[in-house]
């Protein structure tokens, strides 16, 4: 091993790395926005680790192999709740992996392969640009790699010292990082066999590496053999459903594969060419461009803002992918909360499945939110319980369940959820405040959200599947006739289902909500006109229809007559002239502005 092969990076190399990781951080913070990954009320991005403060929670991890990296991964994942903290965590992990990779190849005398030090960062860009995450796998790999440079340097001093170090570190690493220690063991064995040509050391190391998982994992801890022998990258659900997360597999194989390459003569030191200095930036930029999922970001951004009641931001973010059904459903919620559903519903793409996604979907998070919006507490509790079974005791789920049980008067159950929340990192203040309120006033008579839910939730306990869709909202209106959100969802259901007759029958409820007279809200007026055109004679209860609404109806019908034999031309004309009209939706089944 010559001096040139182990020389330290130059000042220029260090400055270039600093610039690289600053850009890496800014991309994650400003473009990806990693807090969207941790937002559990949206689509799944992989495993969502749960973390609680206290010894009881910590003790669950220390008694099993790999528990410490799981604990560390769960803690670090909570930091994703803040955009800059999450970006900083991923950047630090990428930087530490870079140092480990560089140190491994430097210690093995493979100067040329030190250029691979940026590969972990590029692979992490591929992972997080797809809004997947596998932080436990990354922490486990970091634990396995951080001791490799030390082993390689000790190995250069003699066989006995290397064997002693391996015998001590391999079991310890298995206890810390689980079967991911195979990366450490495989790299050491390949180094001894292919580079140092010391089979007398490689063979005992192989025996130790094979015996440790069986002795500690299977015999001592009672783990199934498959679990005891499988690294996190190959056992955890770290991928977006339906999309294999190949990048984490490449990340795990990078250093062992590099050791195989190191055995060749071409891995010797060489002078870095100017274009090679720019290669990491080009690879990172290309990966970010091709891996980034704008639709995934739009979906998560919309749901993120909806969970915080920022409805104008929801409508703005939805423009990136307006036809995605879950986004359409959240946009409808935003229109309802801002009082614009009756006038702007068909300015956005609509369909019945999008308005009310199948309530039996186990991960239909929006349903729990919608039911809480309209006060159907039992239904919201049902969907949240399903979600808890799938992704665990996520703080956002526990918080909603605590609210539901406070509204239902189940104070004991509510306190269980609240006490659990006091041990979380970022929802503890909310829990402490409500625990104090319960101590001062068990009825929570001064809590407006609890009182509103108590005044709107149906008194019956009928299951959702026992009722038709409109009966859900009619029951809510029978319980509380002033429930505006339930009324607007009922009317939206009638509109999207193509039932203008039902809209006309229900406009008598408008006065309950203080709607400004004399003109009907636009989509209700269009529905009444369409109903009247088919011979209906609705009672308008003194409401009037604007002249321009009638003129729009005549124009749409004229277009329908003109293009009766050319549906494509009719769709095109209505899209250009009346993009947000309910008449267009009734005629061609389309809505939304181009």
The pLDDT-based confidence of 237 (bands split at 50, 70, 90) is very low
pLDDT of residue 379: 85
Coil/strand/helix, residue 544 = strand
Tell whether 287 is covered by a domain: no
pLDDT surpassing 90 at residue 429:
yes
Split at pLDDT 50, 70, 90, the class of 534 is: very high
Bond before 174 cis per omega within 30 degrees: no
Q: Token match 């940026």: residue?
A: 118
pLDDT band at 269, cuts 50/70/90?
low
Query: Is the same domain home to 239 and 307?
Result: no
- Region 322-329: mean pLDDT is 89
Cβ atoms of 195 and 152 closer than 8 Å = no
Is the whole model's pTM more than 0.85, yes or no?
yes
* Statement to judge: residues 41 and 105 lie in one domain: yes
- DSSP three-state, residue 519: strand
Judge whether 3 lies within some domain. no
**What Å distances lie between residue 333 and 21, 326, 467, CA to CA?**
39, 11, 22
Which single residue is written with the structure tokens 């690294």?
Answer: 231
* Residue 47, pLDDT score: 59
Residues 103, 214 within the same domain:
yes
Exposure string of 552-581, with b = 16+ CB inside 10 Å and e = fewer, is bbebbeebbeebeeeeeebbebbbeebebb
- Residues 226, 355 share a domain: no
Angle at 76 between CA 132 and CA 221, to 5 degrees: 90
Alpha carbon distance 584, 395 (integer Å)? 43
Ranges 114-123, 258-267, 292-301, 335-344, most confident? 335-344
What's the pLDDT at 87?
A: 96
Q: What mean pLDDT comes out for the span 249-267?
A: 80
Same domain, 74 and 201: yes
Is residue 502 over pLDDT 80? yes
Secondary structure of residue 144 in the 3-state scheme: helix
Q: What is the pLDDT of residues 448-493, one digit of tens each?
A: 999 999 989 887 655 555 455 788 899 999 999 999 999 999 999 9
What angle is formed at CA 48 by the lines to CA 44 and CA 54, rounded to 5 degrees? 160
Indicate if 350 and 250 belong to the same structural domain: no
* pLDDT number for residue 239: 43
Q: What integer best gives the mean pLDDT of the chain?
A: 87
Beta carbons within 8 Å of 59's beta carbon, 6+ residues apart = none
Residue that the structure tokens 């039902």 belong to: 502
Residue 587 pLDDT: 95
DSSP letter for each residue of 38-51 = H-TTSS--S-----
56 class by beta-carbon count within 10 Å (0-12 exposed, 13-18 middle, 19+ buried): exposed
> Diameter of the chain by CA atoms?
98
**Closest to 485 measured CA to CA, from 381, 403, 369, 347:** 369
Phi, psi of 147 (to 5 degrees): -95, -5
Residue 365 binned pLDDT confidence (cut-offs 50, 70, 90):
low
User: What is the C-alpha separation between 512 and 461, in angstroms, rounded?
Assistant: 26
pLDDT at residue 108, as a whole number: 80
Cα three-residue angle 95-122-176, rounded to 5 degrees: 50
Q: Is 400 in the same domain as 433?
A: yes
Share of the chain above pLDDT 90, in %: 60
Q: What is the pLDDT of residue 171?
A: 95
Q: Which of residues 282, 316, 342 is at a domain's end?
A: 282
Residue 492 lies in a domain: no
| Contact criterion met (CB below 8 Å) for 143 and 173 | yes
> In Å, what is the CA distance from 564 to each residue of 555, 560, 569, 571, 591?
14, 6, 9, 11, 19
CA atoms of 16 and 23, how far apart (whole Å)? 11
Per-residue pLDDT tens digits for 196-224: 889 999 999 999 999 999 999 888 888 88
Question: Which of 134-138, 297-301, 350-354, 522-526 has the lowest average pLDDT?
Answer: 350-354
How open is the CA angle 504-509-515, to the nearest 5 degrees?
A: 100
**Residue 388, domain CATH:** 1.25.40
Last residue of a domain, one of 282, 305, 321: 282
- Give ∠ CA 62-66-67 in degrees, rounded to 5: 35
- pLDDT score of 460: 67
Shared-domain flag, residues 165 and 257: yes
**522 is a domain residue:** yes
Average pLDDT over residues 293-317: 91
Task: Point out the domain boundary residue: 253, 282, 311.
Answer: 282
Asked whether the beta carbons of 102 and 253 are under 8 A apart, the reply is no
Rounded average pLDDT over 114-141? 89
Q: Where are the beta strands (DSSP E) in 387-474?
A: none
Classify burial at 434, counting beta carbons within 10 Å of its beta carbon; exposed 0-12, middle 13-18, buried 19 or more.
buried
H/E stretch holding 416: helix 411-421
One domain for residues 94 and 223: yes
For residue 449, is it within any domain?
A: yes
Instruction: Tell me what the mean pLDDT of segment 165-185 comes to.
Output: 94
The whole-angstrom separation of Cα 413 and Cα 402 is 8
Work out whether the CA dihedral 385, 391, 394, 397 comes out positive or negative.
Answer: negative
User: CA of 223: how far to CAs of 141, 211, 238, in Å?
Assistant: 21, 14, 21
Determine the average pLDDT of the residues in 270-293.
Answer: 82
The burial class, CB within 10 Å (0-12 / 13-18 / 19+), for 188 is buried
pLDDT at site 461: 57
Task: State pLDDT tens for residues 60-83.
Answer: 999 889 999 999 999 999 999 899
461 in a structural domain? no
* 37 and 150 part of one domain: yes
Domain-located, residue 578: yes
The domain in which residue 253 lies consists of: 10-282
Q: Are 156 and 204 in the same domain? A: yes
Residues in the chain: 594
Q: Assign 107 a pLDDT band (cuts: 50, 70, 90).
A: confident
Domain count, the chain: 3
**DSSP strand E in 116-184: where?**
none
Radius of gyration of the chain from its Cα atoms, rounded to whole angstroms: 30
Sign of the alpha-carbon torsion through 33, 38, 42, 47? positive
Residue 556 lies in a domain: yes
Residue 48 has pLDDT above 80, yes or no: no
Tell me: do 179 and 272 sit in the same domain: yes
Read off the pLDDT band of 7 (50, 70, 90): low
Cross-strand bridge partners of residue 544:
519
pLDDT band at 5 (very low <50, low <70, confident <90, very high): very low
């Amino acid at each position: 091993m010559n001096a040139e092969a182990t020389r330290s990076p130059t000042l220029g190399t260090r400055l270039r790395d600093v610039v690289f990781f600053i850009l890496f951080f800014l991309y994650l913070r400003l473009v990806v926005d990693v807090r969207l990954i941790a937002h559990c009320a949206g689509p799944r991005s992989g495993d969502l680790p749960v973390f609680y403060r206290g010894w009881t929670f910590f003790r669950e991890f220390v008694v099993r192999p790999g528990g410490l990296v799981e604990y560390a991964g769960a803690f670090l994942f909570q930091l994703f709740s803040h955009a800059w903290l999450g970006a900083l965590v991923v950047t630090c992990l990428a930087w530490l992996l870079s140092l480990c990779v560089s140190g491994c190849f430097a210690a093995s005398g493979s100067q040329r392969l030190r250029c691979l030090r940026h590969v972990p960062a590029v692979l992490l860009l591929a992972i997080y640009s797809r809004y997947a995450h596998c932080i436990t796998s990354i922490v486990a790999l970091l634990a396995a790699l951080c001791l490799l440079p030390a082993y390689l340097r000790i190995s250069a001093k003699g066989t006995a010292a290397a064997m002693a170090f391996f015998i001590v570190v391999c079991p310890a690493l298995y206890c810390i990082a689980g079967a991911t220690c195979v990366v450490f063991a495989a790299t050491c064995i390949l180094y001894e066999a292919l580079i140092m040509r010391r089979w007398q050391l490689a063979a005992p190391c192989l025996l130790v590496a094979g015996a440790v998982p069986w002795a500690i994992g299977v015999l001592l801890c009672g783990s199934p053999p498959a679990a005891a022998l499988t690294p996190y990258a190959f056992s955890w659900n770290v991928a977006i459903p339906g999309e294999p997360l190949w990048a984490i597999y490449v990340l795990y194989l990078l250093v062992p594969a590099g050791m195989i390459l190191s055995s060749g003569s071409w891995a010797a030191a060489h002078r870095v060419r100017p274009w090679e200095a720019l290669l990491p930036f080009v690879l990172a930029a290309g990966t970010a461009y091709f891996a980034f999922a704008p639709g995934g970001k739009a979906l998560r951004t919309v749901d993120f803002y909806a969970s915080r009641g920022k409805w104008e931001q929801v409508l703005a973010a939805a423009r990136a992918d307006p036809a995605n059904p879950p986004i359409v459903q959240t946009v409808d919620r935003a229109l309802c909360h801002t009082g614009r559903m009756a006038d702007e519903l068909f300015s956005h793409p609509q369909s019945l499945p999008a308005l009310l996604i199948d309530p039996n979907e186990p991960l239909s998070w929006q349903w729990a939110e919608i039911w809480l919006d309209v006060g159907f507490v039992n239904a919201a509790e049902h969907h949240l319980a399903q979600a808890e079974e799938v992704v665990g005791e996520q703080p956002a789920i526990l918080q909603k369940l605590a609210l539901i049980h406070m509204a239902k008067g189940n104070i004991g159950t509510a306190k269980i959820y609240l006490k659990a929340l006091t041990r979380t990192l970022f929802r503890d203040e909310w829990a402490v405040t409500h625990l104090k309120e319960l101590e001062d006033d068990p009825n929570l008579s001064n809590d407006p959200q609890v009182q509103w839910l108590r005044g709107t939730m149906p008194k019956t306990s009928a299951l959702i599947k026992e009722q038709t869709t409109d009966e859900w909202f009619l029951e809510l209106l029978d319980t509380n006739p002033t429930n505006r959100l339930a009324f607007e969802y009922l009317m939206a259901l009638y509109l999207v289902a193509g039932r203008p007759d039902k809209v006309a029958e229900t406009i008598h409820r408008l006065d309950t909500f203080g709607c400004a007279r004399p003109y009907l809200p636009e989509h209700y007026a269009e529905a009444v006109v369409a109903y009247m055109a088919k011979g209906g004679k609705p009672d308008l209860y003194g409401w009037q229809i604007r002249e321009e609404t009638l003129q729009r109806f005549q124009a749409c019908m004229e277009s329908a007559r003109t293009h009766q034999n050319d549906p494509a031309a009719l769709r095109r004309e209505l899209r250009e002239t009346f993009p947000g009209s309910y008449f267009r939706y009734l005629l061609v089944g389309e809505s939304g502005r181009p």
